[in-house]
Amino acid sequence: MWQAETFDPTIIDQELAWASELGYNTLRTNLPFIVWQHDRDGLIARIEQFLTLCGKHDIRVMMTLMDDCGFSGDHPYLGSQKPPRDDVHNSQAAASPGRNIVTDPTQWHELERYIRDLVHTFANDERIFIWDLYNEPTNRGIFSEGDVEVRFDESLETYAHYLMELAFVWAREENPIQPLTVGAWHAPYSIGQGDAEFTPENTFTHPTDRRAMALSDVITFHSYQRMEGLKISLEVVGSYRRPMLCTEWLARHVGSTVEQQLPLFKELKIGAYQWGLVKGKTQTHLPWPFVRNIDPDWRRVWFHDLLEEDGTPYSASETALIRALTRS
């Protein structure tokens, strides 16, 4: 999306219009370190254009600077990207800066420049709602063919934790008006892990989650869980007594659904960013590999996402509920 060759303001404007019509007032998007490295001024210009389009539709932005979800297994690269693998969820997802850089501290001076530059450049820009410094630090997953998942080297756990701590230092020293956060994400899913119970003792207890919540101005978290698990997650994050946002949710196969959970977010006044607006090349309407392993009828329902590529709702009842809740 962010390379000059693929940045498409027309498509962005259209999809923002669909989001605004549904009642959305904020979105979350990831930035690529590699594009900043090779085309800093161009990237800044495209971010400015993106923010202008968002402002046109009264949508503020959660800007995510780093991300360990390199599900493709490839290190980030410029130019034309590989096509998605058939029937594989987010098969070409690229990390930022890339797990190879996260596990090589000799390259972190460039990451410091990247984070400081972006936060400094937009430090007083009210179109940016919040800085999400690092998406799912320590995520080692690689989605191979079909229902196979492998793992990146375990050293990522240590390096990502320390890099996350430094990111908070670097960003805070730029004194932005926006709050800073990193989301907690290590929690049991509803299926695929036996009959695992949802308890405070197995929800967001990973050391990186704990440290992220301690350092965050606003507590953010991911919840791909049925209602029982979501309520436990809310109990854990609520103990910090800070504003809360759920920055990833909606996974229909595992019981994370619009009908059940969006009314709860509304009742508790917790902002919620579901994964995906428009079905596309990321193929996140398909479930994770482990879901396919245990659900032979996995094609029966979309996993993430709300709209077809032409804006048609996947579920008219879901979008009707979203409109009702965002207008009340």
Instruction: Look at the pTM and tell me if it is higher than 0.85.
Output: yes
pLDDT at residue number 189: 80
Residue type, 101: I
- Among residues 110, 91, 128, 120, the alpha carbon closest in space to that of 33 is found at 110
d(CA 317, CA 258): 9
pLDDT at residue number 190: 66
pLDDT at residue number 146: 62
Report in angstroms the alpha-carbon separations of 204 from 140, 234, 293. 17, 11, 25
Cβ within 8 Å of residue 34, ≥6 positions away? 76, 77, 78, 96, 97, 98
112, 62 Cβ separation under 8 angstroms: no
CA 136 to chain centre: 8
Q: Which token pair is 47?
A: 């971010």
Instruction: Give the pLDDT means over successive 10-residue stretches in the chain (328 positions).
Output: 98 99 98 99 99 99 98 96 93 97 98 99 99 98 79 97 99 99 92 67 97 99 95 97 98 96 98 98 94 90 98 98 97
Fold of 9-326: TIM Barrel (3.20.20)
> What residue spans define the domains of the chain?
9-326
